């Protein structure tokens, strides 16, 4: 059975772990405080889940999701992530992460910073960063369902994007390829595709609303609006 490794097991990591177990994957969860602090979550997820250190979760994963506060990215274990498809859900929130000049001046993006830190042998794909965790937890549907929701992905390695697409399919989602990693900027916080497409009323605050399905065509429209 394939394994999803999770570095970070909070709102998004925990939601992805549930979708993965339901989709037939094994999951290895990790956080900053140690595997013993994840015992309740592991028990809730059942026999296909276990907890480990971030390095162990990275080594065990066929895919590894990095889903931590952005400011912590320089603590990630580089060696076990080499050669892996690394799915990056992180967003830059200066009030949480501190000011990062290269992001403030727009010269790079948070996912490119992660790629740079990990080095070329890891293949970063940006995904799951633009959907509220509660919406992510309920919008997954089987392959081919008429009301299946799509999520944008961005990355510089075509094989890794294909690999990430396989993961999203298992988790219940279609994919819209938004281009190279740098184009992840078009669905970062503050852009039209950030949160709103998955809310029933995109005009109001997305986190306060019920989830609504967003097929690929809708995501393409929001991305086109972001590109201007
Ligand atoms: N919440 C959302 O709806 C949402 C949606 C899309 C994207 N995002 C983004 O996705 C990321 C995760 O968000 P979240 O809401 O899931 O955060 P969260 O609930 O605060 O969870 C963060 C997780 O990261 C772990 N962590 C922190 N520092 C770590 C380190 N150095 N090494 C390993 N694990 C570490 C935490 O473990 P400890 O508790 O042990 O420190 C915790 O399990 C953020 O960048 C966020 O902006 C969030």
Ligand 1 atom closest to the CA of 68, numbered from 1 = 24
Residue 14, ligand 1, Cβ within 6 A? no
Please, which residues have CB within 8 angstroms of residue 120's CB and are 6 or more apart in sequence?
none
- CA dihedral sign of residues 49, 52, 54, 60: negative
Task: Classify strands 3-7 and 26-29 as parallel, antiparallel or unpaired.
Answer: parallel
Cα–chain-centroid distance for residue 194? Answer: 13
User: Residue 23 falls within a domain, yes or no?
Assistant: no
Name the residue of 68, 73, 93, 100 to mutate for ligand 1: max ligand atoms within 8 A of Cβ: 68
Query: Can you give the residue range of the structural domain that contains 116?
Result: 69-227
User: Residue 131 falls within a domain, yes or no?
Assistant: yes
Q: Number of structural domains, the chain?
A: 1
Residue 91, ligand 1, Cβ within 6 A? yes
User: Residue 112 falls within a domain, yes or no?
Assistant: yes
User: Residue 19 falls within a domain, yes or no?
Assistant: no
Q: Is the pLDDT of residue 137 over 90?
A: yes
CA distance 166 to 160: 10
- Which of 138, 130, 124, 126 shows the shortest CA–CA distance to 18? 138
CA distance 3 to 177: 23
User: Residue 12 falls within a domain, yes or no?
Assistant: no
CA distance 16 to 30: 13
What tokens does 200 get? 């029933």
User: Residue 8 falls within a domain, yes or no?
Assistant: no
User: Residue 29 falls within a domain, yes or no?
Assistant: no
CA distance 70 to 34: 19
Residue 66, ligand 1, Cβ within 6 A? no
User: Residue 126 falls within a domain, yes or no?
Assistant: yes
pLDDT band of residue 149 (cuts 50, 70, 90) is very high
pLDDT digits (tens, 9 = 90+) for 159-209: 999 999 999 999 999 999 999 999 999 999 999 999 999 999 877 799 999
Cα–chain-centroid distance for residue 89? Answer: 3
pLDDT band of residue 222 (cuts 50, 70, 90) is very high
CATH code for the domain of 119: 3.40.50.720
């Amino acid at each position: 059975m394939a394994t999803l490794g999770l570095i970070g097991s909070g709102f998004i990591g925990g939601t992805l772990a549930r979708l993965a177990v339901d989709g037939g994957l094994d999951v290895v969860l990790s956080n900053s405080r140690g595997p013993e602090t994840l015992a309740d979550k592991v028990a809730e997820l059942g026999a296909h889940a276990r907890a480990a250190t971030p390095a162990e979760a990275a080594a065990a994963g066929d895919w590894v999701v990095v889903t931590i506060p952005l400011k912590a990215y320089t603590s990630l274990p580089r060696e076990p992530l080499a050669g892996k498809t690394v799915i990056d859900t992180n967003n830059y929130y200066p009030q949480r992460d501190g000011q990062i000049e290269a992001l403030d001046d727009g010269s790079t993006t948070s996912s490119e910073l992660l790629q740079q830190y990990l080095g070329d042998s890891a293949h970063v794909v940006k995904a799951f960063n633009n959907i509220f965790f509660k919406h992510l937890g309920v919008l997954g549907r089987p392959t081919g369902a008429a009301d299946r929701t799509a999520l944008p992905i961005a990355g510089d390695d075509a094989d890794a994007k294909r690999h990430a697409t396989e993961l999203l399919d298992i988790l219940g989602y279609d994919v819209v390829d938004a281009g190279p990693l740098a184009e992840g900027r078009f669905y970062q916080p503050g852009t039209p595709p950030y949160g709103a497409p998955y809310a029933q009323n995109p005009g109001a605050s997305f986190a306060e609303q019920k989830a609504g399905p967003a097929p690929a065509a809708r995501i393409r429209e929001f991305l086109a609006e972001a590109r201007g």
